Amino acid sequence: MNLRLAMQRRVTGLGVALRERPWNLRSLVPHNSRTGVLNRRGFLRHAEQAWRQAIRQNTRLLLFSLDVDGFKEINDIFGPWAGDTALATLSDALRRCFRPSDLLGRVGDNAFAILCPASPHDAPGIILRIQQKLAEFERDRRLPYEIALSIGYAACDPVLATPSIPDLLVRADAQRRPANSRVNEASPVLSC
């Protein structure tokens, strides 16, 4: 009888602890359910590992920050399913633009990040490739709206310094501009 009472108290105590503790199980899953790409936590974890490897191998990296412009309007005009479709379309297009070994993550409501080995000289070509692939996916899926992006990037040479991935993401965010203007203009390169 004492064992049964002790077990009941233990189970009751665990139930109370779980109710009182604000668990967010979605934050423990490394992938975003709507897009199939890494979520912010998963992206940052894998990006830190990739960054440490780049330092060991003396490899330059680019971190791209992408934001869907007019995302709220897509949701307001066409409905939330359209917003989900826009995010899924962008995710699919980005997966086709990059190698499987490159990191792609949804790091905000309508924000994505990509970490890949490349030099700053490669950035304009990569941005153009993103635009072209996204336009192709929009045409193929016959979307009634255009997915406009603002893109920024930060270049990092592991020999010069070792900032954290969140610091690089802040630098790339600060450089975001509409992707159409980025391709035709000389962009400032942020090296760390």
Beta bridge partners, 38, equal: 31, 105
Confidence band (pLDDT; 50, 70, 90) for 33? confident
Task: Say whether pLDDT at 40 is over 70.
Answer: yes
Any idea of the CA torsion for 184, 82, 46, 50, to the nearest 10 degrees?
-20
| CATH homologous superfamily of 30-184 | Reverse transcriptase/Diguanylate cyclase domain (3.30.70.270)
Give the pLDDT band of residue 190 (cuts 50, 70, 90). Answer: very low
pLDDT tens digits along 60-110: 999 999 999 999 999 999 999 999 999 999 999 999 999 999 999 999 999
SS3 143: coil
Q: What is the pLDDT of residues 141-179, one digit of tens each?
A: 898 989 999 999 998 877 776 678 898 899 999 988 886
Record the pTM: 0.77
Neighbour order of strands in the sheet with 148-156? 38-39, 103-106, 111-117, 61-69, 148-156, 177-178
